[in-house]
């Protein structure tokens, strides 16, 4: 696999070695030992999640103030623009964001460690999104930063209006949010 740091060094793009021919393809989507070697620390995933969304659905920017979740994310059908925002107060990249196109075709994965808000927007007709988490979902600790916060200024490559859940419509501006 090829591991590439993003503009925020702790967020990594992971590209698996894909073996394909006219019959199809094969790749190792996760190998615990190789993943820990790539990120340089032990990690234990405790939950896998799978979502399907329609075009222009924007989910995020989510995080948990307790039981923070590291996420290893990928797309198995369709295309998304995936975003991580550094919300670690002591980080030199606090308030910065990185984004990456993830698709079933490019098979890229994004490692979003604890201490980041995370979200994505669907760029294809539909997309199926899978992710592993390092802690369990705890709704009482979940928070949401507004996807369109002018201070963070994420450049979403969206064509049309973002489709948001009621929860995501209530996202707080970055200046009002709780951080790590």
Tokens at residue 151, please?
A: 């201070």
62 belongs to the catalytic site: yes
Those residues with Cβ within 8 angstroms of residue 56's Cβ, 6 or more apart along the chain or in another chain? 121, 122, 158, 159, 160, 161, 162, 163
Q: How many CB atoms lie within 10 A of CB 176?
A: 10
Catalytic residue among 50, 62, 136, 137: 62
Buried/exposed 131-170: b ≥16 CB within 10 Å, e otherwise? bbbbbeeeeeeebbbbbebeebebebebeeebbbeeebee
Catalytic residue among 63, 118, 131, 179: 131
Pairing state between β 79-86 and 116-122: antiparallel
Identify whether the C-beta of residue 64 lies closer than 8 Å to the C-beta of residue 118.
no
137 belongs to the catalytic site: no
CA dist list (Å): 26 to 6, 16, 23, 127: 26, 10, 10, 20
What residues are annotated to the active site?
62, 131
């Amino acid at each position: 696999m090829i591991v590439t740091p993003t503009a925020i060094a702790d967020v990594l793009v992971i590209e698996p070695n894909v073996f394909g021919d006219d019959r199809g393809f094969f790749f190792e989507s996760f190998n615990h030992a190789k993943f820990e070697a790539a990120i340089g620390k032990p990690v234990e995933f405790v939950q896998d999640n799978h979502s399907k969304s329609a075009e222009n659905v924007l989910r995020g920017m989510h995080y948990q103030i307790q039981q923070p979740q590291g996420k290893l994310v990928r797309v198995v059908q369709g295309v998304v623009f995936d975003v991580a925002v550094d919300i670690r107060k002591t980080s030199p990249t606090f308030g910065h964001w990185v984004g990456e196109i993830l698709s079933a075709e490019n098979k890229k994965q994004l490692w979003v460690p604890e201490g980041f808000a995370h979200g994505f927007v669907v760029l294809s007709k539909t997309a199926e999104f899978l992710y592993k988490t390092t802690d369990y979902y705890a709704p009482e600790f979940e928070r949401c930063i507004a996807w369109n916060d002018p201070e963070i200024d994420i450049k979403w490559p969206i064509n049309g209006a973002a489709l948001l859940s009621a929860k995501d419509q209530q996202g707080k501006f970055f200046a009002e949010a709780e951080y790590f």
